[in-house]
Structure formats: structure tokens, C-alpha cells
Chains A and B, each alone.
Chain A
Amino acid sequence: MNVNPVLDHLDIGDHVCCPVGSVEECWAVAAAGTSCGLHAGHKVLFFADDPDGLSGHLAARVPGARRALTNRQLQVQAGAASYAPQDTFDGDQMIDRIASEAVLAQRQGFSALRVSGGLSAVLDGTGDADADAVVDYETRVNTLLSQEPIIAVCHYDLRTTTSEVWQRLVAAHPTTVVPTGKQAVSRLRGLRTRAGIRLAGEADLANHAALAHLLADVTAAPGTCLIDATELRFADARALGCLLRTAESRGGRATVIACPAHVAECLRVLGADRIPQLTVRAAA
């Protein structure tokens, strides 16, 4: 199958929720990701439920995959052992794991780490506690992904995910891409900068929790915090409120929001002028 072209053009900082309906679909997405990752000189790492099966599939389908498996540019590891070593999902451990894999990838000379995995096994047939833990992990891992050269693609099996959990998972990811679609459900990238954060894409109901977390990360930034949203093409009312709340919560410290003119106008309507330490700079 041909996968959504958005998956062929992911960039550093992308954290993607990818709903899959079958193992075949999951592997097709994995093959496309491997091809892009190897071509870009990234390290490609999978956490898979069936590591041998996926390795075989990639070796057979993706040019260069066999060699990459040998020289460790491509690695397929067992998912369950990584996600739930003690039978319970530990988000902190998972975040530490991805962080150390990113360091390792850089040490090995790769420009970025492209990591994919499916956490459906954690959600499968279990209670709300696991769903809460996974949503919480997907929200908090945005901090790491906005700071390190990582592309993360998270597969979720729609057949085992309730619609309520699904909506929360989508909102926790800045980007959601349906493999059978032609465009992204939502696409937002947040990259930490020395002065604050750069936001690009669209902020709406489909990524509000991710945006809130990314902005919470810069609340404590020392000095003047620059929220560079010049490439933020769309911000819904909730996202606009979140931007203003971030500036307000920084107490007496200055915040600059640089954004397109229509976003600046919306911020003004919502009362940006009433936050003295905030400067909204509209791009021409």
C-alpha cells in the first residue's frame, strides 16, 4: 500500500500519532519510515511486538535495510520488554530510554534518531490507569522531542482503542497522520530555542494537550521568552488562550510572541494588551 505522503516528509521535532488498522498497515508505515530515515542518514529504531517478523519484512521490502540491520543504522527491538519491563507501563523509564537512544545515535554519527513503536499492547484489554499512563507519557515526551534531534512515530491500533482514549491520544501528539489519508489530521512542530520555542503548523483541538505541554515547558525560561509562532498558520481559541496564559504565568518576566497578523489580532481581541509583560509582534 502507498502510505500518506506526509509520512515521507517528517522532520526533526515531529511527534506523530499514527492510527493503524492492521499489522500490514503498521508494517507499511514502518517500511516507508525506514526508507526515509535511512536515506536521510538517521538512525532508525523500532520497538515492535514481533521484532523478527518486522525485521524480515523491512529487509525484504526496503532497499539497504539488510545492510542497515547489520551496521546498526536500523534496529528492531522487542516492544513489550521496553515498554513494560515489570509488566506495568513506566512512562518515565520510556522517556529515559528514548533520550539515551538519541544520545547513542548521535555518538554513532547519525544526525537524528527516528523512533517508532506501538503502545496498543499496553492499552489492550486493560483499565483506565494504563490509558492515563500512556496519555501522560505521550504528553510529557513532547519535552524531549522538542529539544533533541528525534522524529517519533507512535502507532496505535484503532481496533483496541476506545474513542475517548483515542481523542486524548490525538490531543497529546502535536501531529496526527492517518496512513491511508492524503494529508495530516493535524501538524504542529515545537522546537525549543535558546530564547524559548519555535512553533510551526496548526494548533487546534487535535493537538491542544501537546501545545499546552510545550508552552508549559517555557514558562520558567529565564530572561525574555521568545515564542516564535511566525510559522503558526492557525491557532484556535484554546491555543490562543494557552499562549496568553503562558505569558501571564511568567510573572514579571517578559514574553514576546511573534506571529502572523491574524493570530496577533486574535490575541489582541482576547486581551493581550492587559498582560503588561507581553509583547505581541505581528509579522508583516
Chain B
Amino acid sequence: MTTHLARGTAAPFSADFDLGRLAALRRTVAIGARSHGLRGPALEEFLLAVNEIVSNAVAHGGGRGRLRLWCDEGNRVCCQVSDDGPGLGWQALARPCPPLSAEEGRGLWMARQFCSVSILPSARGTTVEVSILIPGTS
């Protein structure tokens, strides 16, 4: 993983989270993403995507996890979310949006509508990477 900062001055940061820190984490991620130049609708979309991955970790991945945020050389703001839960196969990314009657299960699908999402191989638990291109750059 590269930690080189192509834009902005903020260093990559990491934070532990659980249910009690979900909203605070969104604010921290917003500040970090903004410092890399992410603004407007793209910022809102990125925050939603990150929130869904983090919520999945809290609800299904053992209640807690760790998040890292950085900006890569290709002007993408990237976020990696790891948990120690039972693990999530890459097939999860192929799941369609569940019907309206379903109470949950649309988080990962929703994240993919706005951001690139990949499930990274990891020895234990699940690591998901979410990234978005900063608009106006390429």
C-alpha cells in the first residue's frame, strides 16, 4: 500500500471503531477526505460508502474494527476497513440490491454504486477497500 500523498497535507490516519464511534468516525473521515480535496456530492457518496462498510463490520464483523484513510498517487481517496469477524467472500460484491421489503443487506451494493469497492484477501476477518476519484483530477 502506498502512503505517499499526492494531494493535500494530511497524513494517512487510522482509527479503531465500534458502534459508539460510528458517527464520530464519519466526521473524522469527512475531515480527512476533505483535506485530500474531496468535496460536494463525491464527499457525501464516499462517506455513505465508508459508513456502510464500517456498519457491516460493527453488525456482522465482531462489533469493532479498524479504519485507514489515505490519498493515493492516482488522486483517489482510499479507505480500508478491517474487522476480525467471520469473513466475507468476494462473492458478496456480486450480490444484487435486495428487494424493498428487505430491512438490510443493501449497504455493500449501495457503496458500489458510488465508489470502487474491493474485498482484500486477509488471514482473518474481512478487509474491504473503498476508493473514489477526486472529481476534476485524473
Contacts and interface: CB of A to CB of B under 8 A. Distances in A.
A236 B55 contact: yes
A167 B47 CA distance: 22
Interface string A108-142: 00000000000000000000000000000000000
B41 A245 contact: no
Contact of B23 (A163, A186, A245): A186
B22 A186 contact: yes
Given A204-B51, A262-B44, A266-B48, A241 B58 contact: no
B19 A185 contact: yes
B123 interface: no
Interface in B64-119: 97, 100-104, 106-107, 109-110, 113-114
Summarize A's interface: helix, strand, loop or mixed: helix
Interface in B12-29: 19-24, 26-27
Nearest to B107: A237
Given A204-B51, A204-B55, A262-B45, A236 B107 contact: yes
A3 interface: no
B24 A183 contact: yes
A282 to B, nearest CB: 11
B58 A237 contact: no
A248 B107 contact: no
Contacts of B24: 183, 185
Interface in A192-218: 202, 204-206, 212
Nearest to B44: A262
Contact of B55 (A205, A242, A248, A270): A205
Contact of B48 (A237, A241, A245, A271): A237
Contacts of A11: none
Contact of A238 (B19, B41, B104): B104
Given A204-B51, A205-B59, A237-B106, A265 B41 contact: yes
28 contacts: A167-B63, A170-B19, A170-B20, A184-B23, A185-B19, A187-B23, A202-B23, A202-B26, A204-B22, A205-B22, A205-B55, A206-B19, A234-B47, A236-B51, A236-B52, A236-B107, A237-B106, A237-B107, A237-B109, A238-B107, A241-B103, A244-B100, A245-B101, A261-B41, A262-B41, A269-B110, A270-B106, A271-B100
